[in-house]
Structure 1
Amino acid sequence: MDLQAIRTAYTSGQPKLSGIGGQTGAQRAPQAETGLDAFGKTFEQAIQALNSQQLEADQWAARLAAGEDVDLHQVLIAMEQAEIGFRLALQVRSKLVEAYQEIMRMQV
């Protein structure tokens, strides 16, 4: 028997496989962002949040220094939040540098 005839007979009775949800490869949505892209976006958002905390604390301090009627507690809370956020960012940076150095010390 011819090999092509066997293949035709075998595949003619088989249903065509499709992806999840009945989609074929051409219909699938683009791949989700890679881990590196997701990390980069998360890191960028964290830096932007830290920057906004710093700017908010600066605005509160400037308003207090200008003699505006602001609550001293609110100013101190904003400044402490900015300082804690900055310390957290500094610790994350230190851990990233430490991890990078550890990877560089690895022997391949």
Structure 2
Amino acid sequence: MVDSITNSVLAPLQNSGAAPSQAAAPTPYEVTNSFASYLTGAIQDINTQQTAADKMNQGLLTGQVQDMSQVMIASQKAALSLDLAVQIRNKAIDAYQEIMRMQI
């Protein structure tokens, strides 16, 4: 579960220097090679996971979903992806602050 989240966030960054593979269909953020497109795609993935978890929670409360384990898995995936995004943001802010402290 963590591997799929990590791969979805880090795969575009790892493959940025290599030639794109012809065998695999491009993901939404492989179409353009800008950092903004990578960031937008990752945020959209997190939003999609959060929305799916919310829908499953609502379905559980209304009795439409009977399998609680699927609801818990969706909720944990959404929580882990959000936690990963927050940690990446914190590291980026720390790196920016470190660069700003450097004297020229």
TM-score (norm 2): 0.67
Moved over 2 A (4+): none
Q: Return the alpha-carbon distance in structure 1 between the equivalents of residues 98 and 64 of structure 2.
A: 51
Corresponding residue of 1:101: 97
SS of equivalent residue, structure 2 residue 63: coil
SS of equivalent residue, structure 1 residue 107: coil
Q: Which runs of 5+ in 2 are unaligned?
A: 1-31
| Equivalent position to 2:57, from 61, 67, 84 | 61
How far off its partner does 1:85 sit?
A: 0.2
Query: What whole-Å deviation, never above 9, does each CA across 1:65-93 have from its counterpart, x for those lacking one?
Result: 01114311100000000000010001001
Percentage identity across paired residues of the two chains? 42
1:91 and 2:91 are equivalent in the alignment: no
Corresponding residue of 1:46: 42
Query: What whole-Å deviation, never above 9, does each CA across 1:25-76 have from its counterpart, x for those lacking one?
Result: xxxxxxxx6xxx6111101100000000000000000000011143111000
Count how many residue pairs are aligned between Structure 1 and Structure 2: 73
User: Which has the higher Rg, Structure 1 or Structure 2?
Assistant: 1
Paired AA for residue 52 in structure 1: T
1:77 and 2:73 are equivalent in the alignment: yes
Check 1:69–1:52 CA distance in 2 against 1; reply closer, same or farther (3 A cut).
closer
